[in-house]
């Protein structure tokens, strides 16, 4: 063991004596921690893969809904440009230049 690490473990110098049970428990703790870490990394990788697959290859009913939404969006963007006739007015509304008209 490096001298600095030995000093941190035991200020008077030398190596710290630990029992066999503690050493075995610390080994199992490290293995359990590594196993948990690998499991979580695998779960996140699977989750990311599922999200990627759903966006690239959606199910048929979801694909149909997406196409309908795209068509509606295209229709909304084209509608104002192609609409040249004014909207129908309510009976109580007057034209904007009503005051210019001469009453004969």
Highest mean pLDDT among 2-6, 32-36, 60-64, 74-78: 32-36
Residue 84 tokens read as: 């040249």
In a domain, 15, yes or no: yes
> What is the rounded CA–CA span in Å between residue 22 and residue 2?
21
Q: Interior CA angle at 46 toward 40 and 47, to 5°?
A: 90
Q: Report pTM.
A: 0.45
As for how many domains the chain has, the answer is 1
In a domain, 99, yes or no: no
3-state secondary structure of 57: coil
In a domain, 75, yes or no: yes
- Tens of pLDDT, residue by residue over 5-39, are 555 555 555 566 777 777 888 899 999 999 999 99
In a domain, 85, yes or no: no
In a domain, 20, yes or no: yes
> What is the rounded CA–CA span in Å between residue 47 and residue 41?
10
> What is the rounded CA–CA span in Å between residue 58 and residue 46?
17
Owning domain of residue 36: 3-80
Between 96 and 27, whose confidence is greater?
27
Q: What residues contact residue 14 under an 8 Å CB cut-off, 6+ apart?
A: 6
In a domain, 102, yes or no: no
């Amino acid at each position: 063991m490096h001298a600095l690490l030995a000093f941190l473990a035991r200020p008077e110098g030398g190596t710290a004596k630990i029992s066999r049970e503690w050493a075995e428990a610390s080994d199992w703790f490290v293995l359990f921690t590594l196993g948990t870490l690998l499991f979580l990394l695998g779960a996140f990788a699977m989750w990311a893969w599922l999200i990627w697959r759903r966006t690239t290859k959606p199910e048929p009913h979801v694909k149909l809904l997406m196409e309908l939404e795209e068509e509606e969006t295209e229709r909304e963007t084209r509608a104002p440009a192609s609409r040249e006739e004014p909207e129908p007015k309510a009976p109580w509304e007057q034209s904007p230049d009503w005051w210019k008209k001469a009453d004969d």
